[in-house]
A and B are shown apart, each in its own frame.
Chain A
């Protein structure tokens, strides 16, 4: 599995209501019904566990789409 697939999986796990066909890289946080601050925490935790990285506080607050997350992860690898 490549990084893109892993990030997509993280989003599908973090938002169980989203199916693979609903997934969009550029969909923003405000367009998700249930992307609140705790969902943000869940996404970050999943990503940190999956890629064994630690995000900075600035990175944590800046992630607002799947694309953002992917770029952020890539910058750590």
Chain B
């Protein structure tokens, strides 16, 4: 298989009557999906190959048809999260140079407000079959464009080729043993690299994908039960919520899963242990990757000693730790391999972040016995009198306290120490925890210099369109 279009063709030819995709309202077999994709892509043949077509959809069958239709027509799918702000939406469409913006009926009001004479704006329901011409993408063509979430800076356009997707999907299938017999529950947006990779994987092996619109735990558990699913892909916070109480009676629905996969954000060891206990025979796994270098490592949690690692590099992928201090084993993680993009959409980002095929991730890490450990973001380090402190180290300690929903540690300027720690705390509903209780706990459990010099309670944190906290806005 050379392109994403081949994934669907192959699975359609092998098992046309198998259920390919399910959402809240309907389901499609591979035959039906293939027919709808061909019909949809015929409309797009009026655009030159490699045109950018922007998509604004929730997780629905429509969104899969639209995406695969774009792929089939040799165009590039620009995937936009539905929670995007209007200003960011306008910025992305302008930067991407979209020819057409497509949305579901529900999201059309957002795109109808975009002022431009050069961009066509349509609802999914307005697309009609217009020709029977078939165009095929080439493996070197771009398949999709995603703008990174911008947790540390302004969003960067990341174009990914078909060949890179084929490589990454092959690695996922091999490492996590996906097969046509799988039924996969997906409460992740297809506009994000994690969710999109799961769609590619399901099409690649010809399995069934159950799309969830939200991360509601009850709905996820119901889907697993109703569809007899055997894999679940979810972000760590969804899995932690699932195991943190309130769902005890329903958690046995997870016990027959063969795989729970999550991604590289901090995955609390307690959650991993709880999930492993629930699963009869199944595996818990994570991966480390960026939109620019999808699935660079995989970790299957067989060994509790390495529970904080994100695993070893995938086949065909190299990692190295780059540090200015020769004596330190900690430094920036650089990645090279077929999964790494060749360039960003804008040249300025290419110059800043890519060097001789190596992607400078901006993530801090260390490699021990070939296993990678993520320590945080370089930009987030707090320098207290020359001591480098990872905010995650402080956050992990404080998060253990009951009555706290989430915390973020950031640097705060200080006359004597250069920087000290400032802690933003989001309390749980009805929590009465005080600042002095948090401080006293920090004094007992952290080195003195890491104890926050200021604590501020907040209602919530500024977040990206993907829901990640924008740390740079708190500094």
A interface, CB within 8 angstroms of B: 10, 13-14, 16, 36-39, 41-42, 44-46, 49-50, 57
How far, in whole Å, are A13 and B445 apart by their CA atoms in the complex?
Answer: 12
Known: A38-B448, A38-B451. A46 touches B440 (CB 8 A): yes
Candidates B416, B435, B443, B444; contact of A49 at CB < 8 Å: B435
Candidates B416, B435, B436, B451; contact of A37 at CB < 8 Å: B416
Residues of B with C-beta under 8 A to A39: 448
Q: Is the beta-carbon distance between B453 and A41 smaller than 8 angstroms? A: yes
| Chain B residue with Cβ nearest A61 | B416
Q: Is B415 an interface residue (CB 8 A)?
A: yes
| Chain B residue with Cβ nearest A39 | B448
Q: Chain B contact residues: over half helix, strand or loop, or mixed?
A: mixed
How far, in whole Å, are A38 and B416 apart by their CA atoms in the complex?
Answer: 10
A-B contact count (CB 8 A): 42
| Chain A residue with Cβ nearest B439 | A46
Residues of B with C-beta under 8 A to A49: 434-436, 439, 455
Q: Which of B277-299 contact A (CB under 8 A)?
A: none
Q: Is the beta-carbon distance between A41 and B420 smaller than 8 angstroms? A: yes
What are the 5 tightest A-B residue pairs by CB atom distance, in nearest-first order?
A49-B435, A38-B448, A13-B440, A38-B449, A50-B436
Known: A49-B434, A49-B435. A16 touches B455 (CB 8 A): no
Q: Is B236 an interface residue (CB 8 A)?
A: no
Q: Is the beta-carbon distance between B415 and A45 smaller than 8 angstroms? A: no
How far, in whole Å, are A41 and B455 apart by their CA atoms in the complex?
Answer: 13
Q: Is B454 an interface residue (CB 8 A)?
A: yes
Q: Is the beta-carbon distance between B415 and A42 smaller than 8 angstroms? A: no
How far, in whole Å, are A31 and B404 apart by their CA atoms in the complex?
Answer: 37
How far, in whole Å, are A10 and B420 apart by their CA atoms in the complex?
Answer: 20
Candidates B415, B451, B453; contact of A57 at CB < 8 Å: B415
Q: Is B313 an interface residue (CB 8 A)?
A: no
Residues of A with C-beta under 8 A to B454: 45
Q: Is the beta-carbon distance between A16 and B444 smaller than 8 angstroms? A: yes
How far, in whole Å, are A39 and B452 apart by their CA atoms in the complex?
Answer: 12
How far, in whole Å, are A49 and B442 apart by their CA atoms in the complex?
Answer: 14
Known: A45-B454, A57-B415. A36 touches B448 (CB 8 A): yes
How far, in whole Å, are A46 and B434 apart by their CA atoms in the complex?
Answer: 11
Residues of A with C-beta under 8 A to B455: 45, 49
Could you tell me the distance in whole angstroms from the C-beta of A69 to the nearest C-beta in chain B? 14
Q: Could you list 18 A-B pairs, sorted by A, with CB under 8 Å?
A: A10-B436, A13-B436, A13-B440, A13-B443, A38-B449, A39-B448, A41-B420, A41-B448, A42-B439, A42-B443, A42-B451, A45-B439, A45-B452, A45-B453, A45-B455, A46-B436, A49-B455, A57-B415
What sequence of 0s and 1s flags, for each residue 431-474 of chain B, a beta carbon within 8 Å of any chain A beta carbon?
Answer: 00011100110011000110111110000000000000000000
| 15 further interface pairs, Cβ-Cβ under 8 Å (given A38-B449, A45-B439) | A13-B440, A36-B448, A37-B416, A37-B417, A38-B451, A41-B448, A41-B451, A41-B453, A42-B448, A42-B451, A45-B452, A46-B439, A49-B455, A50-B436, A57-B415
Could you tell me the distance in whole angstroms from the C-beta of B425 to the nearest C-beta in chain A? 11
| Chain B residue with Cβ nearest A6 | B436
Residues of A with C-beta under 8 A to B436: 10, 13, 46, 49-50
Residues of B with C-beta under 8 A to A44: 453
| Chain A residue with Cβ nearest B455 | A49
Known: A41-B420, A46-B436. A16 touches B453 (CB 8 A): no
| Chain A residue with Cβ nearest B414 | A41
Could you tell me the distance in whole angstroms from the C-beta of A52 to the nearest C-beta in chain B? 9
How far, in whole Å, are A14 and B416 apart by their CA atoms in the complex?
Answer: 20
